[in-house]
Structure 1
Amino acid sequence: MFLLGIGNFALHRAVLESGHPLVEQLPGLAQSLGGRLTLVAEFLVLLAAMLLVANGWSELAWVYAGYSALNVASAWLILSGRV
């Protein structure tokens, strides 16, 4: 899960730095902080998932893997200019 989290952070950062019009449509507070607020949200999702898996919710690892797959797909669409 930790490695998936690193990948999610890298993709998230790449999308934020891409200059894509969707990034420009972020709400004012998230945009003014350079996207750091969205990275904090990404961290909180990873932290919650890791804590829950460590406390016996092992099925949640598959949910986080699915979440990561959606992140990969959306980042690919945005970075390749398909969206």
Structure 2
Amino acid sequence: MATILIFLCGIINFALHKATMESGHPMAAQMHALFQGFMRGWGSYMLEYLILLSALGFAALGYTIALPAYIVYTGMNGLAGWAILTGKI
């Protein structure tokens, strides 16, 4: 059950990541430029994928902290995405 919930949170994280990276916000442009030398700017998506993969791996190994930790991570991403997309930052 934890792996399913982590996977669903991962979908939310990737959608939010894509929305913020395509928002045209100066912070997103700076992040894209930072990762430009790594995978032609797609490195931030790879980092997001590795975090998801790690959470799924820990959940599969039975670590009960994996789900709450990834939910907190998703919540923080949500708050940051909301701030970027609404122009609060």
Same fold (TM > 0.5): yes
Q: Percent identity?
A: 40
Stretches (4+) displaced over 2 A: 26-29, 31-34
The question of 1:10 aligning with 2:19 is answered no
- Partners of 2:9 and 2:33 lie apart in 1 by 29
Residue from 50, 61, 80 that aligns with 2:56: 50
User: Please, what TM-score do these two structures have when normalized by structure 2?
Assistant: 0.85
What letter corresponds to residue 13 of structure 1 in structure 2? K
Please give the per-residue CA displacement for 1:10-62, whole angstroms capped at 9, x wherever unaligned: 0000000001010122264514624x110000000000110111101022110
Secondary structure of 1:25's aligned partner: helix
Gaps of 5+ in 1: none
Tell me the number of residue pairs that the alignment of Structure 1 and Structure 2 aligns: 82
User: Please, what TM-score do these two structures have when normalized by structure 1?
Assistant: 0.90
- Partners of 1:9 and 1:43 lie apart in 2 by 8
- Partners of 2:67 and 2:74 lie apart in 1 by 10
Gaps of 5+ in 2: 1-5
Match of 1:40 in 2: 46
Q: CA RMSD in A?
A: 1.5
Residue from 41, 59, 65 that aligns with 2:65: 59
